[in-house]
Amino acid sequence: MKLIINDEEKDIAGAISVKDVVDSMKLVPEKIVVELNHRILKTEEWKSSSVKDNDRIEIVSFVGGG
Half-sphere exposure of 7 (CA within 13 A, CB side): 1
- CATH homologous superfamily of 2-61 equals Beta-grasp domain (3.10.20.30)
Pairing mode of beta strands 56-61, 39-41? unpaired
pLDDT per position as a tens digit, 15-55: 899 999 999 999 999 999 999 999 999 999 999 999 999 99
Q: What's the pLDDT score for residue 64?
A: 76
pLDDT at 66 over 70: no
Termini Cα distance of the chain: 39
